[in-house]
Copies of this chain bind each other. A is one copy, B any other.
Amino acid sequence: MFLGRVVGTVWSTVKWPELSGLKLLLVRPYDLSELRTGVLTPSQEAVVCADLLDAGIGDDVIIAYGHAARVAAWEASLDHPPPAAPPIPIDAAVVAVVDRYHISESEEPPPPVAPR
C-alpha cells in the first residue's frame, strides 16, 4: 500500500456495470522526504483509484492494489462477504482515509544489523 494525496477526479464511459457507479480518483503518492518534512516536491506519478470512502480532493489516503482493492470495493457497496474473486474490473482503491501519522525524524537512522 502507499500513502498519497487525492488530486483529481476522472469521468468515463464504461461498459462494466460494476464500474458505472464507482467514483474514480487521481492520487499522487508521497515520497519519504515529503512525509518527513511536510514539504512537497514536484511529482510525476498519478494513480487512478476507485473510491468508496467518500474521499475528496486534498485528502490523504492509503491505496491498495489488486485483490485488496476489489475486496474493498465489494464490501463497501454490498452487505454480504465478497466472493473469493470479486468480479470488479479495478486494480486500485482507497482503503483508508489518513487521520495522522508519525514518522521518525532522523534522515540517517543507526546502521542496520551489521553484516558478518
Contact = CB atoms under 8 A, between A and B. Distances in A.
Interface of A: 1-3, 5, 7-16, 19, 24, 26, 28, 30-36, 38-40, 42-49, 52-53, 57-58, 60, 62, 64-72, 75-76, 81-85, 87-93, 95-105, 107-116
Contact of A96 (B14, B46, B103): B14
Contact of A69 (B9, B46, B83, B89): B89
Copies of this chain: 5
Nearest to A43: B32
Contacts of A46: 2-3, 30-32, 35
Contact of A101 (B9, B38, B64, B108): B9
